[in-house]
């Protein structure tokens, strides 16, 4: 089984109607890069160079998006560019999957599994494409395609047939889900806990308002969640958990809104209340630890 991943960097939404119709560039300018699936401690370059089936699959997927007018990034050119830049710096370039995801700025990635099947009635290729929101890990689309059985060992042609069979359907489903995220926001989770050594609890009154710390935290989420969409899962004396807080896809300037921006704003809000808070960001999960009051 061979896997590779496609990264989408959306500027605006896009729409695919049919295989022979290109994306409307007036409403969409996505950027896509296909990269090989790499296990832990594997580099993208080594996987790409040492697996012929992966190289074929990456080429066919890139060609498929190019035909539809989608902007793509060539993996080979990007690796060469990065290596040339790294040569001017100390140390080696980190080409692991996690590093590429962190540096890509992608909104969506598509994990693809490709395999060749052999039988007495003919050979075929199987391609599974699953799209995920890069921040929340939420599955956005899943398509499975099989090429026709043919008496041939031409894997390039078999993979091309499989990819073409479901690529439009994949893009249309991604469009629907991406539009929903744009209109209703992206989901994150927020946990605010009190450090064991802190002199505060969630039941502590903050400043002269008489509001409890848990109350000012919930009020902040209600005011700052996208379209006021949030859900309080539970509150104890030392923890407040929000299992759903919506944040916008774009900021007021049309740039990608980052989870780190929401975290930074909340930390500064707490600081203004004279509460020292440490933040940790793990994907779409925000964890805040109240260290104490200043």
- If asked whether residues 129 and 206 sit together in one domain, one would say no
- If asked whether residues 17 and 113 sit together in one domain, one would say yes
- If asked whether residues 191 and 154 sit together in one domain, one would say no
- If asked whether residues 44 and 167 sit together in one domain, one would say yes
Q: Which residues of 114-132 are buried (b: 16+ CB within 10 A; e: fewer)?
A: bbbeeeeeebbbbbbbbbb
- If asked whether residues 115 and 32 sit together in one domain, one would say yes
- If asked whether residues 35 and 121 sit together in one domain, one would say yes
- If asked whether residues 144 and 212 sit together in one domain, one would say no
Structural domain count of the chain: 2
Does the pTM surpass 0.85? The reply is no
**What's residue 21's pLDDT?**
44
- If asked whether residues 25 and 76 sit together in one domain, one would say yes
**What's residue 20's pLDDT?**
46
Range of the domain at 31: 2-183
- If asked whether residues 162 and 196 sit together in one domain, one would say no
d(C-alpha 73, C-alpha 122), whole Å: 34
pLDDT tens digit at each of 294 positions of the chain? 556 555 555 444 444 545 444 444 333 344 667 777 767 777 778 877 887 777 777 778 778 777 877 667 677 776 666 565 554 444 445 566 666 666 666 677 777 777 888 999 999 988 888 777 777 777 888 888 899 999 998 988 998 898 899 888 888 887 788 888 889 999 999 999 999 889 999 999 998 888 999 999 999 999 999 999 999 999 999 999 999 999 998 888 888 788 999 999 999 999 999 999 999 998 789 999 999 776
Q: What are 254's two structure tokens?
A: 């049309």
Domain boundary among 148, 166, 183: 183
- If asked whether residues 57 and 196 sit together in one domain, one would say no
**What's residue 265's pLDDT?**
97
**What's residue 294's pLDDT?**
60
d(C-alpha 35, C-alpha 6), whole Å: 6
């Amino acid at each position: 089984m061979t896997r590779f991943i496609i990264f989408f960097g959306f500027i605006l939404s896009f729409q695919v109607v049919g295989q022979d119709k290109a994306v409307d560039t007036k409403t969409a300018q996505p950027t896509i890069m296909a990269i090989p699936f790499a296990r832990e401690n594997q580099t993208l370059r080594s996987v790409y160079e040492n697996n012929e089936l992966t190289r074929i699959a990456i080429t066919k997927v890139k060609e498929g998006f190019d035909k539809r007018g989608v902007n793509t990034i060539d993996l080979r050119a990007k690796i060469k560019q990065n290596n040339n830049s790294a040569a001017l710096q100390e140390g080696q370039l980190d080409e692991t999957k996690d590093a590429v995801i962190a540096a890509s700025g992608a909104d969506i990635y598509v994990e693809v599994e490709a395999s060749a099947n052999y039988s007495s009635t003919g050979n075929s290729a199987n391609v599974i494409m699953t799209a995920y929101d890069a921040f929340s890990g939420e599955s956005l689309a899943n398509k499975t395609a099989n090429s026709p059985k043919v008496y041939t060992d031409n894997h390039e042609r078999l993979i091309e047939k499989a990819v073409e069979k479901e690529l439009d359907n994949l893009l249309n489903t991604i469009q629907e889900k991406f539009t929903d995220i744009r209109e209703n926001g992206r989901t994150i989770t927020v946990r605010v806990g009190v450090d064991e050594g802190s002199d505060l609890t969630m039941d502590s009154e903050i400043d002269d308002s008489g509001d409890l710390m848990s109350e000012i935290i919930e009020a902040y989420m209600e005011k700052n969640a996208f379209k006021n969409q949030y859900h309080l899962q539970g509150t104890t004396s030392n923890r407040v958990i929000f299992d759903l807080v919506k944040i916008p896809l774009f900021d007021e300037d049309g740039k990608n809104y980052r989870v780190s921006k929401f975290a930074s704003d909340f930390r500064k809000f707490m600081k203004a209340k004279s509460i020292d808070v440490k933040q940790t960001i793990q994907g779409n999960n925000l964890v805040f630890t109240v260290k104490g009051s200043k």
